[in-house]
Amino acid sequence: MDSLTAMELKNGVQTNLGIDIPIVKFIEGTTIAALANELNGQLTQRDGEQVRDLLGDTQVSQTGGENSSWIEGEI
């Protein structure tokens, strides 16, 4: 892959998925499978952080209120 194609692919991934992969990963001859694994790992990490943020917000907003036992039952 030439450098122009690598930059287009990198920018497409960043624009469409919000994932920033170093350009060297594209240029150094990385396989499609390795890039897919890198993307999957970063997406999984980002999704896990978003879930933790959502659960943390729910638990904080519901603790001490009348719904706190409902949250414990649902978890």
Cα–Cα distance for residue pair 33/12, rounded to 1 Å: 17
What is the per-residue pLDDT for 51? 79
What is the per-residue pLDDT for 18? 87
List, for residues 4-35, the tens digit of each pLDDT value: 888 998 899 899 988 888 888 888 878 889 88
Domain residue ranges in the chain: 3-74
46, HSE (Cβ side, Cα atoms, 13 Å): 10
pTM over 0.75: no
Better-predicted residue by pLDDT, 41 or 75: 41
List, for residues 29-57, the tens digit of each pLDDT value: 788 898 888 888 888 888 888 777 778 75
Tokens matching residue 57: 């917000």
